[in-house]
A and B are shown apart, each in its own frame.
Chain A
Amino acid sequence: MLDFFKQASGSHETTLAPPPAEPAEVRLNINGQQHTLQIAPWVSLLDALREYIGFTGTKKGCDHGQCGACTVLVDGVRINSCMTLAIMRDGQEITTIEGLSHGKELHPMQKAFIDHDAFQCGYCTPGQICSAVGLINEGKANNLEDIKELMSGNICRCGAYTNINAAIIQVKGEVQS
């Protein structure tokens, strides 16, 4: 923190920066498949997915846990994958958007998103869908007001919120019936 202020104020004192992190073995169980990576401990789960494995369905929107675009499910619970280091998830079951569909068979939430036109540009969509699946897993989304509150961690700049909620209500109804 001190270095930051020194830099910001134009100070030119020499600082000895610590050496960069060295790679280590990390085993990630993603969508039922085991991936063994040699990555430095400072790699976020989000970057591990996108840059080291090639699962680019999980999106980077802010890298600070402020937008929800990077939402994935870890042991069925939705988390922001930018806010966790990959190495912290060694051995846990990670589900990304790529793991929700089976071949051409879409997950009911994915289908509902298409039916209700619950997206425009599509960039927040994988995060919205994973978050919606996580929400239903939590068993909390009992009415529209709950859904709105509990989906507010996923920003959609195209403003598809009302359609997203309609999709979630449809899937919620299907699950209950």
Chain B
Amino acid sequence: MKTDYIGKPTSRVDGALKVTGTAKYAAEFSADGLTYGYVVSSTIAQGTIKKIDLEEALNLKGVLQIFTHENVSGLAWFDRSYKDEDAVAGSPFRPLYDKKIRYSMQPIALVVAETFELARYAASIIKVEYTTESHISDLKENIPNSFKAPKGKVGFKPPVSRGDAKEAFENAPVKIASEYIHSAEHHNPMEIYATTVVMEPDGKLTVYDKTQGVSNCQAYISKIFGLSAKEVRVMSPFMGGGFGSGLRPQYQLFLAVLASLELKRSVKVSLTRQQMFSFGHRPASVQQMALSASPDGTLQSIAHTAYGETSMFEDYTEVVVNWSGLVYQCENVEQKYDLVKLNTYTPLDMRAPGAASGFHAIESAMDELAYALKMDPLALRLKNYAERDQNDKKPFSSKALRACYAEGAAKFGWDKRSIEPRSMREGNNLIGWGMATGSWDAMQMKATANAVLTADGKLTVGSGTSDIGTGTYTIMTQIAAETLGLPIENVTFKLGDTLLPEAPLEGGSWTATSVGSAVQSVCTTIKEQVFKLAKKVKNSPFANADLKEVNFDNGEISLKLNPSKTLSITDVMKQSGKVSIEEEATTMPNPIHMLEYSFNSHSAVFVEVKVDEDLGTVVVSRVVSAIAAGKILNPKTARSQILGAVVWGISMALEEDSVVDNNFGRFINHNLSEYHVAVNKDINDIEVIFVEEKDDVINPLGIKGLGEIGLVGVAGAVANAVFHATGHRVYNLPITMDKVLGLSE
């Protein structure tokens, strides 16, 4: 048996736990005397609470306490105590802080009762009087009040312009200019946000939270409630989907801890699905794109402006426009990114934040330009292929986008496409083929992992990261098993616990690169230790050998040149009298490489749609997604990640729309029946291709991360396919039947 697991399709190591219902999520932990919290949400978007009448609710037997701004005090004063690792510029939201209402569905009270049903009932009879003030909720209408997006968020790069895009645009022979509007989207992971705080007998807290970063939550709670790290242990062994929604601590965490400390009881607070629309979301945006080219298709200018919404209290930023200066070769680029303050909760990173919406505009505009040039859309992309990152003036560590275009197009049959819109048909369906490019950053963060090898040849590796469904448990187990040459069933990976060494937030597609590097490093150190011991055992076949001259495979060490000379790891441990070997390692990206190179993953997406000519309904019948993201650790789980991301792209393009009723400043479709996400019936053939991409620079594993790249480009490709099918370009997402038929914009 070979133990070279990296790159091999491997079933999830936590699969059995998930299919039997034994994997436990945040709301599924219990404790003696557990109490239940239920959140009351504001019904207005701007104003103050005049009166909040709790009497009737408090009189119910079994209702323990109701927390409001009137009885919560004594917490941290300064904004810095409420800032978390993913915080943006401004003042973080403080639940139950004062009588001010800053957005609709703001949490205004927490009822704690002996049962969930009683807490819910009590919440329903609380009477609230407001002084209502006028709210601001329309993004487009308020663009005149926009301001330059400030710095303040880790990883946010302000846009950079180069050359003179205005002049080039004026002088260019072929040009297009368009505006794109995206509705807000909500992450809506299937698991509802929940926190279970277990009050231990010694007064310490064990907090089971739905989060993409246990240490982020531990620090947040400690700072606000004045606790030491030792008094708060945060755990999140399983997370029922995140997509970015768990990058910042959500308000149920604050409320559950508050109640637990005040009542000296264990408390569980679950939000409702409706309340899943009461915190972060992908911001609505308005984008303006202007492109110009010479008749042969060479880009002369790119001008990209984006207006994003933010809250009244914080300035959320994401990278929307910078991508247009990155993906195509062009000397004249103008980028602008402004924010508009609305009565809404602060937006929050949602899968491929900035890129998902930015690329929709860029790639739709490139398609429009291709038609203006009477040129094949793929040929236009190849004509303007960027060999270097012109934004940062650096070479890419690797870029196999050409292979994505070639292999994706071949698999899709792009060469059989007739360029004219409305030229392909199947009965009453107009057929359209569209394509788009995608890119995402390949980032690595500082991460630490520890590992213990015991005398029985079992290895336990740990790092305080998350598995939000991405397959972290599995790929880390693969990396550890292969590095030390152990059968995979002898390796256990632990995560989601603040007792483990610290890992970065699980986001940005950097977990595989960051935590994977730390796991590889710590296992390499253990391997070196084992080999040192192996050299010293009696009659060791490796007495004069170097580590490079041996293989670690299937629990045995053997000489490469003479594989019959072997020693098992368990024998080495036994003969050396070792009970265990324990190590810890921290890894960081190579700082010199960081300065010298740009690191990006890329994709080419090809989409077929069928549009009913009379009804305007759009079915995505076929997708080919070709991905260049370095080495693929586990093709089985990696494929699933890309499949899921394509589903997200289809959902974004055709369905998702958090509708604001500007009369009330409120998301009115705040449930899963009216906020549409793709269901089984909406999804047809999806083909995933991972193109070969060798990268010796990025990290020793040669990996780039896959969480976001599969989504980027999909919405643009769908929109372009709809144009090809119908000859009518829909600029605003989602592309619904009314827009396809030209009945609305």
In the complex, A54 has a CB within 8 A of chain B:
yes
Q: A120-B640, A161-B647 in contact; A17/B239 too (CB < 8 A)? A: no
Report A31-53 CB contacts with B as 1/0, cut-off 8 Å: 00000000010110001001100
Q: Give CA–CA (A163, B455) in the complex, Å.
A: 40
In the complex, A92 has a CB within 8 A of chain B:
no
In the complex, A170 has a CB within 8 A of chain B:
no
Task: List which B89-124 residues lie within 8 A (CB) of chain A.
Answer: 115-118, 121, 124
User: Which listed residue (A12, A54, A64, A67) contacts B51, Cβ 8 A?
Assistant: A12
User: Which listed residue (B270, B645, B673) contacts A60, Cβ 8 A?
Assistant: B270
User: A96 to B21, Cβ gap below 8 A?
Assistant: yes
In the complex, A149 has a CB within 8 A of chain B:
yes
- Number of B residues near A (Cβ < 8 Å) is 79
Q: Which residues of B contact A76 (CB under 8 A)?
A: none
Q: Give CA–CA (A63, B274) in the complex, Å.
A: 10
Q: Give CA–CA (A154, B239) in the complex, Å.
A: 18
Q: Give CA–CA (A125, B27) in the complex, Å.
A: 16
Q: Give CA–CA (A3, B156) in the complex, Å.
A: 46
Q: Which residues of B contact A50 (CB under 8 A)?
A: 27-28
User: B273 to A62, Cβ gap below 8 A?
Assistant: yes
User: A151 to B680, Cβ gap below 8 A?
Assistant: yes
Q: Which residues of B contact A20 (CB under 8 A)?
A: 60-62, 117-118, 121
User: A106 to B56, Cβ gap below 8 A?
Assistant: no
User: Which listed residue (A113, A155, A165) contacts B679, Cβ 8 A?
Assistant: A155
Q: Which residue of A lies closest to B238 (CB)?
A: A122
Q: Give CA–CA (A11, B677) in the complex, Å.
A: 36
Q: Which residue of B lies closest to A62 (CB)?
A: B273
In the complex, A59 has a CB within 8 A of chain B:
yes
Q: Which residues of A contact B188 (CB under 8 A)?
A: 157
- Number of A residues near B (Cβ < 8 Å) is 68
User: A12 to B190, Cβ gap below 8 A?
Assistant: no
User: Which listed residue (B30, B118, B468, B686) contacts A162, Cβ 8 A?
Assistant: B686
B11, B43, B60, B469 interface centre (most CB from chain A within 10 Å):
B469
Q: Which residues of B contact A143 (CB under 8 A)?
A: none
Q: Which residues of A contact B471 (CB under 8 A)?
A: 120
User: Which listed residue (A21, A60, A114) contacts B192, Cβ 8 A?
Assistant: A60
Task: List which B456-492 residues lie within 8 A (CB) of chain A.
Answer: 468-471
Q: Which residues of B contact A47 (CB under 8 A)?
A: 116-117
In the complex, A164 has a CB within 8 A of chain B:
yes
In the complex, B532 has a CB within 8 A of chain A:
no
Query: Which of B128-136, B281-289, B324-332 sits within the interface?
Result: B128-136
User: B681 to A121, Cβ gap below 8 A?
Assistant: no
User: A97 to B671, Cβ gap below 8 A?
Assistant: no
Q: A12-B51, A98-B21 in contact; A156/B190 too (CB < 8 A)? A: yes
User: B672 to A66, Cβ gap below 8 A?
Assistant: yes
Q: Give CA–CA (A163, B638) in the complex, Å.
A: 13
In the complex, A124 has a CB within 8 A of chain B:
yes
**B86 CB, nearest partner CB in chain A, Å:** 20
User: B60 to A160, Cβ gap below 8 A?
Assistant: no
Task: List which A119-135 residues lie within 8 A (CB) of chain B.
Answer: 119-126, 129
User: B469 to A122, Cβ gap below 8 A?
Assistant: yes
Q: Which residue of A lies closest to B675 (CB)?
A: A66
Q: Which residues of A contact B12 (CB under 8 A)?
A: 114, 117
User: B469 to A121, Cβ gap below 8 A?
Assistant: yes
Task: List which B116-156 residues lie within 8 A (CB) of chain A.
Answer: 116-118, 121, 124-125, 127-130, 132
Q: Which residues of A contact B76 (CB under 8 A)?
A: none
Q: Give CA–CA (A61, B470) in the complex, Å.
A: 19
User: B27 to A60, Cβ gap below 8 A?
Assistant: yes
Q: Which residue of A lies closest to B647 (CB)?
A: A159
In the complex, A10 has a CB within 8 A of chain B:
yes
Q: Which residues of A contact B17 (CB under 8 A)?
A: 122
Report B657-686 CB contacts with A as 1/0, cut-off 8 Å: 000000000000001110001111101011
User: Which listed residue (B115, B125, B242, B648) contacts A159, Cβ 8 A?
Assistant: B648
A7, A15, A122, A126 interface centre (most CB from chain B within 10 Å):
A122
Q: Which residues of B contact A7 (CB under 8 A)?
A: 43, 127-128
Q: Give CA–CA (A11, B51) in the complex, Å.
A: 11
Task: List which A60-87 residues lie within 8 A (CB) of chain B.
Answer: 60-64, 66-67, 69
User: Which listed residue (B19, B62, B647) contacts A125, Cβ 8 A?
Assistant: B19
User: B671 to A164, Cβ gap below 8 A?
Assistant: no
Q: Give CA–CA (A151, B681) in the complex, Å.
A: 8
Q: A59-B240, A159-B678 in contact; A64/B673 too (CB < 8 A)? A: yes
In the complex, B692 has a CB within 8 A of chain A:
no
In the complex, A8 has a CB within 8 A of chain B:
yes
Q: Which residues of B contact A61 (CB under 8 A)?
A: 190-192, 273, 672
User: A120 to B678, Cβ gap below 8 A?
Assistant: no
Q: Which residues of A contact B53 (CB under 8 A)?
A: 12
A12-B129, A66-B671, A121-B191 given; name 9 further pairs at CB < 8 Å.
Answer: A8-B43, A20-B60, A56-B24, A57-B22, A60-B27, A66-B273, A114-B12, A159-B643, A165-B680
**Chain B residues in the interface with A (C-beta under 8 A):** 11-12, 14-25, 27-28, 30, 43-44, 50-51, 53, 56, 60-62, 115-118, 121, 124-125, 127-130, 132, 188-192, 238-243, 270, 272-273, 468-471, 636-637, 639-641, 643-648, 651, 671-673, 677-681, 683, 685-686
13 cross-chain CB contacts under 8 A: A10-B132, A12-B127, A60-B27, A63-B272, A66-B672, A67-B190, A96-B21, A117-B640, A120-B471, A120-B640, A155-B679, A162-B683, A162-B686
